[in-house]
Chain A
Amino acid sequence: MLRAFIQHLHFTKTERFGALGLAFIFCLVYMAPEIYHRYFLKARKTDFSAFQRFVAAHAADLGIEADSLQPAKQPPAVFPFDPNTASAEDFERLGLSEKTAQSILNYREKGGQFRKPEDFQKIYTLSIKDFERLEPYIRISAKQEKWKDQEYAYGPRPAQYAGGGYEKKYAPRGPVDINRSSVEDWVKLPMIGEKRARQIINFRESLGGFLTVEQVREVFNLPDSVYQMILPHLVLETKTVHKLNLNTATIEDLNHHPYISGKQAMLIVRYREQHGAFASVEDLKNIIAFKDKAWLEQIKPYVGIE
C-alpha cells in the first residue's frame, strides 16, 4: 500500500521541471489579483465641488437652509432578543421608536408577559412591518415556553394586582381535580381566594360531589368571568358521589342539597310518610308535583335508597 503511494510520487527529471514551472506560474496567477489591487489599481476619486455648488444654488432657489443636515444613520441592527428582558436601548437598536420601547416596558411592568413570539404583536404601537422584521429574532426563555400549550384567558394584570401576595396566587399551578382538591389547591387558581375556595368546597359537599366540570359554574356567587378564567385548570378525575338516602333523609338534609328546594324536600318526605319507603329512585316520578323530567334527571345521580 505504502509502496504504491510512493510509486505515485515518483517524477522523472523532465516531469519535475515541467511541474515546477507550472507550479510557479500557478502561484503567480493566483497571487495576481492581490498584486493588481495593491500596485496597479488607480484609486478613483470624484471631485464634488461642482456638485456642491449645484446643490447650494438649488437650495438658494428653494429658500432652504442647507446646513441643518446630519450624517446618515445606520440601518437598525437585528439580533436575537427576549422581549421579556430586553432593555429600552435594545429595542431602539432594533429600530423601534422611543415611544414603542416605552410602551413595551410599561406592558412588562404591569405584569405582561410574552409567552410566545405572537404575543409580541399585542403592543399597539408596534407596526406590523416591524413585527414581521423582528419576529424571527424573538427568543423567549425556555421557562416560559413550558406553558406554551396552555391558553390563558387573562392578559396583563391590572396595576392594583401587581406586587404583594397576589404574585404567588397568579402563578398557574396546573390542573385541579374538582372532586378531590382542598382549599389550598383551589386558592392557587387565579381570582380564587380563601372565601371562594371555601364556597366551592361547601357547594361540593352539599352536592355530594361534582359530576361534570360545568357544575362549578353553579357555585353561588361565583362570577361567570372567574369561572371562565379557572375553567382551563379544572379536571374531573375522581367521580365519587355521596348520595342522599331518600328513605332516611330529613327535610333539612334534602333541602341542603343545591338541586332540591325546600318545597321539593317537603314533598319527598311527605310522600314517604304516606306511601312508605321508596323502593327505587324511579318512584320519585310518582310524586304528582314533580312534573319536570329534566329536574328528575338532574337529581337522580345524587339520590339513592340505601
Chain B
Amino acid sequence: MHSRAYPFLRLLVPFVTGIVLGNYFDTPIDGLNSILLLGTILMIPLAIRTYPYRFRWLFGAYLSIWLLGLGYFMLVGQDERRMVGHFAQAIPDATFFIGTVYDAPLTGARIKAPVRVEWIGSASDCMQPCTGNVLLFIKPDSLAKTLRYGDQVLVRAGVRKTDPPANPHAFDYQRYLHFQNVHYQAFVKKDSFQVLSSGHGTLLWHMAFAARDNMLRVLRDYFPQPDEYAVASALLLGYKEDLSDEIRVAYAETGSMHALAVSGSHVGMLYAGLLVLVRVFRFRGKKGRLLELGLILLVIWAFTFITGATASVLRASVMFSTYLLGKAIYREASAWNVLAFSAFGLLAYNPYLLYDAGFQLSYAAVAGMVFFYPRFYRVSPILPKWADAAWSVLLVGFAAQLGTLPLSLFYFHQFPVYFWLSGWIVVLGGAIFLWGGAVLLVLDMVWISGAKYLALGLYYMLWGMNQCIFGIQALPGSVIAGVWVNMLEVILLYACIVCLGIWMVYRKGIWVNVLLVLGIWIGLIRLSRSVEQENQAQLVLYSISKGRLVDFIDGKNGFAWMDTLAPKQIQFAAQSHRWASGLLQVPAVLFQKDTVIEHANFAYRPPFSQFFDKRMFWLQPDSKLPGGVFPIDILVVSGKPKTDLKQWVAHYPCRQIVLDTRIAPWHLEPLKKQCLEMGIPYHAIGTAGAFHVKL
C-alpha cells in the first residue's frame, strides 16, 4: 500500500485538514478566494516543469497547500451567517418573516421545518429582503401537517439563536444544527403561519419526496402494525421518523442500527440484484454495455433521491457510480482510490459532512471492511458454499466493527456484544425485505391480491426479525454500556487498529510491541480518569422542564433526588453526564417534604440538606419564615416565594442562589434583580442550564 498508488488519498488529506482548520478557527480570511484563484493559474507552469530530483516534492507541496486553503475556504464560506444581508441584525425588531422550506419537514412532538428566509420585518407589509436559515418548530395541527418541501411561508414568530445544551454532556443540538448550517430557530404558535405558495425548489426533490410519501402510504396500507411498518419504512426507504424508541434502542443495542439507517449495504444489495437482472436480459456489444451502465446508474440514483439522499447513501452511490464508470472505461479502480474520490466529491459538495456522525461511521465501516475482510477471508478455512456465505457475513461484520468501534464508542458509549449474531439476521432480513419490498411496491400497481399475499409473508418475516432482535437484546450481557472515551482515546484506538493492520501486512513483530505501547497509553488515560472519578464530589441540579432532578455524585457512587419523571426525560438530561462521571447505576429517591435521607456524605432533613460540607436550603412556596438566622451555602428557590426574596436571605444568609425550573419565566426577572441588589451570585436553571458544582 503505497500512497502514490492512490492519488485521491493524497489529495484528500490536505483538503480534510483544511476543513478541520476552517472549523476550528472559524474566521474568514480576506481575499482567500482570489489567492486560490491566482494559485490555480500559477499551478499550470509548475505542473509543466520537470523537477530536479532534489525538488521533486515541490509540486506536491504546493498542491497540498492549495488544497488546504481550498478546504478552509469552503468550510468557512459555507456558513450561512456570513451570507450577504443576513437577517441577524434585524432580529430584535422582527416579528414577521417570509421564507421557503428547503428540506422535507420532520415529524415528532413538533414539526421541524428548515426555512431559507427571504424577507423579514416588523409588520407583514413592511419587510426587507434578507438571507439566512431558520429552523421552525411548529405545533402539529392540521395546517402544519400539510407543510411540504418548497412551500413559501409567512411566519409570525420571534427568531432567536439556537440554545447550547441545557445539561452537562447532553446531546449538543446547537452544534448538530451548526453542521446543518442552521443557527437560528423560531417557535411557531398556532395560527401564526400561512403558506403563501408552493412548488419552489428543485423539481427533482419534489418528485423524490412525493415518491417517498407515496411509498410510505403504500407501506402503511400493507403493514398496519406500527412496529413492522416502522422497520419496513426504515429498511426500504431509510425513513426513520416512525421508529418507536423501543425499536430504536433494541436495534442500537444489538449493533444493527446500521440496517435501519439505509447504509451503503442497501445500495450494494440493490447493485447485486440489478446485476442479476441485467444478466437475464443480456445486453450485448458496446451499445448494450452503455445501456446497462445507464440503467444501473439510473436506478441507483433514483433510489438515492427517493430515500432522501442521506450521507451514507450518497457516499455509497458515488462510490458505486465511479466504480462502474471506471469499469466501463476498462480500468479497474482500487477500492481505496474510489473511496477517497467519493469522500473528496462529497466534501467538496458539503464540507460540513465531515462532522456528520453518519458520514464518519459509514466511511469507517467501509474502510474496515475493505482492509480487513480480504485478509480475514484469506486465512480462513475452505467451507461448503452455504457455510461460506454465513462465514463471510460474520467476517464482514467483524471487519466493519473494527472500523467503527472507536467512533461508535465515542458517540454512543456502548458496545453491542452480540453484533455478530444480529448481523446475520439483519443482513438476511434486510436483503429479503429490500427485494421483497421493491417487488411489493411494483405489484401494488399491477396486481393487488398478489401484493397482499406478499405483504403478509413479508410482515411475518419482519415480525420474526423484530422478535429476534428483541430476543438478542434480552440475552444476558448483550450491551456493555456507559463506556466513555475522549477524542484522544479514539485516535489512539484507531492507531491500534492501524497497527494491527500493518502487522497483518508486514508481519514484523515490532508492530505488536507498538500496539502494546498504545494500549498502555490508553490504559494510563483511563487510570487517571478512574482515580479522578473515585475522588470526585459533584452536585448537579439538572434542567428539566417542569420537574426536578438532582444528582449527588460521591466518587463512583451517585444518588439522585427527583420528582416523578418519565424515564426518557431522565435519560436525556442525565445519562451522558452520569456515564462521563463513571456512574452506571444511580439509585433514586422521590422529592417529598417529610422524609429523611441519610447517606455516607449526604443528609436531608427537611428543609435542609448537606452534601459533604455544602449546606443547602430548599425554599418552597409554602415555606415559613423563621425568627432567627441560619447561615447556609446554597439557597435553592423552587417556585415563587410568597414573601420577598430579600427577607428570606436575611434569615438564611448564603453564598449562592439557584432559581430552578419551577419558577415561571415572568417571575424570574424581579428575582434576578433582587439577587443583584443583594450582591449574591444567582443561577437560573431555566435560562442558564443545569447548575453544576464540583466540590
Contact = CB atoms under 8 A, between A and B. Distances in A.
A15 B513 contact: yes
Chain B contact residues (Cβ within 8 angstroms of A): what range? 35 or more
B565 interface: yes
B590 A72 contact: yes
B52 interface: no
Nearest to B632: A54
Interface in A52-104: 52, 54-55, 57-58, 61-62, 66, 68-76, 78, 95
B605 A51 contact: yes
By DSSP majority rule, is chain B's interface helix, strand, loop, or mixed?
A: mixed
A19 interface: yes
Interface string B585-596: 001111010111
B356 interface: no
A33 B556 CA distance: 12
A74 B588 contact: yes
B379 A1 contact: yes
Interface stretch (B31-39, B62-70, B426-434, B608-616): B608-616
A65 to B, nearest CB: 10
Contacts of A54: 608, 615, 630
A85 to B, nearest CB: 20
Contacts of A70: 594-596
A29 interface: yes
A219 B258 CA distance: 60
A8 B596 contact: no
B509 A11 contact: yes
B516 A55 contact: no
A72 B597 contact: yes
A156 interface: no
B523 A29 contact: yes
A172 interface: no
B294 interface: no
A74 B587 CA distance: 9
Interface stretch (B1-9, B183-191, B264-272, B620-628): B620-628
Interface in B653-679: none
Nearest to A55: B605
Contacts of A48: 598, 603, 610
Given A33-B526, A36-B527, A55-B608, 16 more contacts: A8-B503, A19-B516, A30-B526, A33-B530, A36-B531, A44-B601, A54-B630, A57-B630, A58-B626, A70-B595, A70-B596, A71-B595, A72-B589, A73-B595, A133-B566, A136-B568
29 contacts: A1-B378, A7-B507, A8-B503, A12-B509, A15-B510, A19-B513, A22-B516, A26-B516, A26-B519, A26-B523, A29-B524, A30-B526, A33-B527, A41-B534, A45-B601, A46-B610, A46-B613, A55-B605, A57-B628, A61-B627, A66-B605, A68-B594, A69-B605, A73-B595, A74-B587, A75-B564, A75-B589, A130-B564, A136-B246
A34 B568 CA distance: 32
B383 interface: no
B520 A26 contact: yes
B326 interface: no
B520 A29 contact: yes
A263 interface: no
Contacts of A69: 594-596, 605-606
A110 to B, nearest CB: 28
Contacts of B608: 51, 54-55, 58
Given A44-B554, A45-B600, A51-B608, A30 B523 contact: yes
B610 A51 contact: yes
Contacts of A8: 503-504, 507
A18 B513 contact: yes
Contacts of B555: 41, 44
